[in-house]
Amino acid sequence: MDEEAIRKQKEAFSKMKVVLEFAKQLVKPNIKILDIAESIEKKIFEIGAKPAFPVNVGINEIAAHYTPSLDDQTVVKEGDMVKVDIGLHVDGYISDCAFTVFVGKESHPLIDTARRAVEEAKKVLKENVKIREISEVIETTVTSSGFNVIRNLTGHFLDRYVVHGISIPNVKNSIEIPIPKGQAIAIEVFVTNGSGWVKESSEVQIFQFKEDKGSRTREGRKIIEIAKKEFEGLPFAKRWLKNIPRSKLELALKELVERGCIIEYPVLKEESKGLVAQWEESFIIE
Ligand code: CO
């Protein structure tokens, strides 16, 4: 990365600090998760950044890819394990961070473990550290606490306008790829008291532009345009398509998925309904 790129990358990181501070005080009993997501996204725009993906709010066994719909009435309750995953970007340079709140309580061993795994991983970050070295520290930290990592969710490289670059697994592996100086990465750990595996559910709230293969309908063509230009090819929420008539939205999205114009990110749940805590921070290798 050149100096200008590093400057923008660091700007994304410092804006994320402001957003995280704002987001953490929102998660209280009786708030609607729709209000959590929308007010964080509003804050991102207010400070001169853009969302890199819709704010994810996952409760209990819901691990990832849940963002509320416009009519979502879900309210946060005391004792819920609420994960908030936030992505923002400055000119395509992304920061991706997540935290978990055990609502109404100080903390929870699952949360402490996820956070500690990120802390331990941070200690081994240096120029040319191998992916397997990071993975090993994370898995060891989690299993020594008596919990499981979610094996099919990973950290990842952050590239310009690409949220998920090369994966950084949270289980031991033999990936010898070194992480070069100037590379931005997200260390992202999910810890559970369940079996440690997520599966896709039938609900989809998040989509992403893939390729313009046209559409039979005006709404479809409009969604392609918005996904490319306004959302800049990054993941977007169904809820963000406010200008598409609600009655036509579902069918239009379905057609675009079938044609291969957009991809969908189904909601991911822990398969044994275990509780899931998530901690994620973004770094640049220096
Ligand atoms: Co991430």
Helix (H, G, I), strand (E, B) or coil at 85: strand
Q: Is 159 a catalytic residue?
A: no
Q: What is the CATH number of domain 3-197+274-284?
A: 3.90.230.10
Which CATH number is 203-268's, of 2.30.110.10, 2.130.10.10, 1.10.10.10, 1.10.760.10?
1.10.10.10
Pairwise CA distance, residues 81 & 8, whole Å:
33
For 15-51, what is each residue's pLDDT tens digit? 999 999 999 999 999 999 999 999 999 999 999 999 9
- Which amino acid, 236? F
For 67-123, what is each residue's pLDDT tens digit? 999 999 999 999 999 999 999 999 999 999 999 999 999 999 999 999 999 999 999
Q: Is 108 a catalytic residue?
A: no
Kindly give the residue spans of alpha helices, DSSP state H, lying in 25-157: 33-46, 109-123, 131-143
Task: Return the sign of the alpha-carbon dihedral for residues 187, 193, 197, 201.
Answer: negative
State the distance from the centre of ligand 1 to the C-alpha of 114, rounded, in angstroms.
14
Q: Give the pLDDT confidence score for residue 234 in this predicted structure.
A: 98
State the distance from the centre of ligand 1 to the C-alpha of 149, rounded, in angstroms.
15
Q: Is 176 a catalytic residue?
A: no
State the distance from the centre of ligand 1 to the C-alpha of 126, rounded, in angstroms.
20
Q: Which helix (H) or strand (E) holds 151?
A: none
Q: Count Cβ atoms within 10 A of the Cβ of residue 229 and give its class: 0-12 exposed, 13-18 middle, 19 or more buried.
A: exposed
pLDDT above 80: residue 1: no
For 162-201, what is each residue's pLDDT tens digit? 999 999 999 999 999 999 999 999 999 999 999 999 999 9
Residues in the chain: 286
Average pLDDT, the chain: 97
Q: DSSP class of residue 252?
A: H
Q: What percentage of the chain has pLDDT greater than the value 90? A: 98
* Every domain of the chain and the residues it spans: 3-197+274-284, 203-268
Pairwise CA distance, residues 81 & 77, whole Å:
9
Q: Is 270 a catalytic residue?
A: no
Catalytic residue from among 38, 136, 280, 281: 280
